[in-house]
Amino acid sequence: MAVGLGPLPAMHPVPGIRMGTTSAGIKTPGRRDLVVFELCEGSRVAAVFTRNRFCAAPVTVAREHLGAAAPRYLLVNTGNANAGTGQRGLEDARDCCARLAELTGVSPQAVLPFSTGVIGEPLPSQRILDALPSALESLADSGWSEAASGILTTDTLPKGASRRVRVGEADITLTGIAKGAGMIRPDMATMLAFIATDAELPQELLDRALTEAVRYSFNRITVDGDTSTNDACVLIATGKVSVTDEVAYRAFVDALTDICTQLAQAVVRDGEGATRFITVQVENGASQAECEAVAYTIAHSPLVKTAAFAGDPNWGRILAAIGRAGIDDLDVSAVRIWLDDYLIAEQGGRADGYLEAEAAARMNRDEVTVRVDLARGQSAAVVWTTDFSYDYVRINAEYRS
């Protein structure tokens, strides 16, 4: 039921990156569920991970390895999150890294593991170990589309973005894939995202670029308000094209943010059971933080989301969400609310001339914008979310069956 999400665009190969995808039968026999990324020597990696205190075993191991060696391989499995698995989960993640390292002649610390799927079940690591040779045999620089499919869980479509852009005096490539449809309220990134570029940047600038891009993309989406145990967003730079000055760096960050935004919005468009893509735009706040608080309170409200599913312009639910967003000195008489271009509330109540049919026409669109003017400053924020449908409940009720 993806809203406005089509097939993958042309996925430009990134010099220095190859991907191999295979089926390990982790959850569903015959389904592609194991992906290996091979990074050329000299690549740099920046990553951000979930802040959930019950972080998955692969998150713990990836953090350890990232600080110990230059990454040469990423190992990604779907079908099992290897989260809530205690010491055994850590050992399983390390065993998988060690086996891939043995097969490729690198140190185990040069392998970063990532997992997604059911929480609380032991990782069937032997299936992964057995499938690694097949994944390595399929390594290709054109493997982005297969990898995008190989990391999916409840997603209905693979998600990718790719562009070539002029940065300073050179052309660079940025290509990325992401997965996620439920348990989406990132506190750093989405469930899994992998982005590669042939740009060359110092580690400090690479880390800074990813942090900034994530802030305005993956950290501005929500499907259900649940932050995953496995969230990770990885940026790989193979160092083929130098980004040498501040102007070029800013152009790179803008291009990276664009790629991340496309991927983040694709996650929302494919939200579990989604029938509407909703933009919540809050403006004229006293600070960006309070604008974000208002936007997320609206976007997380089950009452707002279920009304949206019904195409019901129930502006009272939006009004109530704004009022409980934590702005103690909010002047409610100054707040105005629109659905797309139609003013629905002002001066503490329904807007003069409000017509239910006009408001319903806006809310019944596949894509709708809820715009809120707080009238108390010059800051703004935007969040992207979905409605809640019957299918969201069904998908999550049946997730382990």
**Domains defined along the chain, listed by start:** 17-269 (3.60.70.12), 277-397 (3.10.20.340)
Provide mean pLDDT across the span 177-202: 85
Count of Cβ atoms closer than 10 Å to residue 390 Cβ: 11
Catalytic residue positions?
Answer: 190
How distant, in Å, are the alpha carbons of 216, 319, 335 from that of 263? 12, 30, 32
Q: Looking at the predicted structure, is the pLDDT value of residue 190 above 60?
A: no
Let me know: does 3 contact 276? Beta carbons within 8 Å.
Answer: yes
Q: Report yes or no on whether pTM surpasses 0.75.
A: yes
pLDDT confidence tier of residue 185, bands split at 50, 70 and 90 = confident
Mean pLDDT of the residues in the chain: 94
How distant, in Å, are the alpha carbons of 169, 204, 266 from that of 165? 11, 22, 21
pLDDT confidence tier of residue 48, bands split at 50, 70 and 90 = very high
The confidence score (pLDDT) of residue 228 equals: 83
The confidence score (pLDDT) of residue 188 equals: 61
Provide mean pLDDT across the span 212-225: 91
Let me know: does 400 contact 81? Beta carbons within 8 Å.
Answer: no
Let me know: does 85 contact 124? Beta carbons within 8 Å.
Answer: no
pLDDT tens digit sequence for 360-392: 999 999 999 999 999 999 999 999 999 999 998
Lowest mean per-residue pLDDT among 52-61, 84-93, 124-133, 241-250 = 241-250
- Name every residue whose Cβ is closer than 8 Å to that of residue 265 and which is 6 or more positions away in sequence: 221, 277, 384
Top-confidence range, 85-89, 214-218, 394-398: 85-89
Let me know: does 385 contact 222? Beta carbons within 8 Å.
Answer: yes
Q: Looking at the predicted structure, is the pLDDT value of residue 198 above 80?
A: yes
Q: Looking at the predicted structure, is the pLDDT value of residue 88 above 70?
A: yes
